[in-house]
Structure formats: structure tokens, C-alpha cells
Amino acid sequence: MIQVNQLSKKYNGTTVLNIENLEIPKGQSFGLVGNNGAGKTTFFSLLLDLIQPTTGYINNNDIQVNTSENWKSFTGSFLDESFLIGYLTPEEYFYFIGDLRNQNKADVDALLAEHEEFFNGEILKNKKYLRDLSKGNQKKVGIIATLIGNPEVVILDEPFANLDPTTVSRLKKIIKDLADNPNVTVLVSSHDLQHTVEVCDRIVALNKGEIVKDIQTSKETLQELETFFAV
């Protein structure tokens, strides 16, 4: 589904990301772990064509992301709060995204009903604009909004951060369900090794922009990663 070729990103001569080759097959749930500054968000930003690569390119379903925009119709993403429109209510935001992805109100309502438990009664019909929601609740809105329109690729940057324990376990279930769908490729980044190991089939660790580990998840994975990051 996603092919990375000779991709690198340099800022003023400093290389922040350098991936020779990476292939993420369709249906995989892919976890990206690493310390601050490892290049996780840079990679996702490149994948979403928000920044330009210094060299190389990324193909998303055989569409080169920085030359064509056709990948947008099947890719859902949430990187941070700047993906939210502060002056809308959560409902209006969902419908707005729905409109852009050719989903009618009923489709969106159905999706929202499905995730009512995840919202925990704090999102819908709460008479609050997105800008006035807490960080955690904003995140919930952003994550569910990526699922509107049944995207084939779902990209979530640090989805577990800022969430309460109950929501984290609910989110894991949502991501696992997505991962079980053979048509959906999920990309998740996190600082939290345990969460990532739990929801992903495959884990790639980045360090200073380079891939340092690429493992299929097994019982020993967590141990292996913990040893690697324990310095």
C-alpha cells in the first residue's frame, strides 16, 4: 500500500529523516516508535504531503503523494489539534469532514453512534466549541473524524497521548478492529512501547531519522524494544 523510496529530509544540512526503503503492505497495522526528534511526525508529514522531501518519494496506493492529490480521497489522518476547526461544535466538524468525503448526514450519524462509548458522553450535544474542549476530548474528536468515509489508510500521530486510561483501552479496541479489516492500513506512532506493541502487527523504531529496528510483533517484541530504548 505504501512504498517509501530513498526518502530523506534535511533542514539546513541536518538530516532529520533518511529512509532508504520501506514497504507497508495493504491491511497491515504499522507502529512507529522512537524518542522525541526521531522523525516520526516528519515521516507522517511527508506521507501527507505537508512538507517536501529533500530526496526520494512516497507512494500511497501507487500514487506519488507529492505529485498527485488523489490519495486524499482514501486517506484519513490526525496529527495534532491543528487538524481541528476550533469554532465548530464537534457535530459540525464531523459533518464538515463528512461533506468533504461525500458522506451524508446519516452516514456520519451512524459512525458516531458506533463510537458513542468512546466519546463517553463528553463530546456530542455538549454545547461546546472544539476550542473549549479539553486536550483529551479534542483528540477523541480528531481520531473519530479520521474514520469518516471508510478510509483505506488511517494515519494517527501519538493517538494515546493525553487520553485517560479508559479511553486508551477503548482506542486500542478501535485500532485493533481497524487492523482486523484487511482493506485498511493503519499507521500509528507513539512513545508508548506497550500500547504500540499491543495494537500493531509490525513495529518500526526510528532513531535520529534512521530505521533501527523493523520487527513483526511477537511475545518478545516488547522486551526487545524496551532493552533497545533503555540506555
- Name the site residues for other proteins (rule: CB under 8 A): 48-52, 72-73, 75, 77, 79, 82-89, 91-92, 95-97, 99-101, 105, 126-129, 131-132
Closer of 85 and 215 to other proteins (Cβ)? 85
Shortest Å distance, C-beta 168 to other proteins: 24
Shortest Å distance, C-beta 205 to other proteins: 25
Q: How far apart are CA 144 and CA 129, in angstroms?
A: 16
Label residue 224 exposed, middle or buried (CB < 10 Å: 0-12, 13-18, 19+).
Answer: middle
Shortest Å distance, C-beta 62 to other proteins: 17
Q: How far apart are CA 225 and CA 222, in angstroms?
A: 5
Cβ atoms within 10 Å of 164's Cβ, excluding its own: 12
Shortest Å distance, C-beta 87 to other proteins: 4
CA within 13 Å, CB half, 81:
13
* Torsion sign, CA atoms 136, 88, 178, 21: negative
168-203 b/e with 16+ CB inside 10 Å = b? bebbeebbeebbeeeebbbbbbbbebebbbebbebb
Radius of gyration for the chain, computed over Cα atoms and rounded to the nearest angstrom: 17
Closer of 17 and 84 to other proteins (Cβ)? 84
Does residue 10 sit in helix, strand or coil? strand
Shortest Å distance, C-beta 202 to other proteins: 23
Closer of 131 and 173 to other proteins (Cβ)? 131
Closer of 34 and 157 to other proteins (Cβ)? 157
Shortest Å distance, C-beta 177 to other proteins: 23
Closer of 43 and 193 to other proteins (Cβ)? 43
Closer of 81 and 201 to other proteins (Cβ)? 81
Shortest Å distance, C-beta 208 to other proteins: 22
Closer of 97 and 203 to other proteins (Cβ)? 97
Alpha-helix runs per DSSP H in 74-208: 90-100, 105-114, 116-119, 135-146, 165-180, 193-199
Label residue 98 exposed, middle or buried (CB < 10 Å: 0-12, 13-18, 19+).
Answer: buried
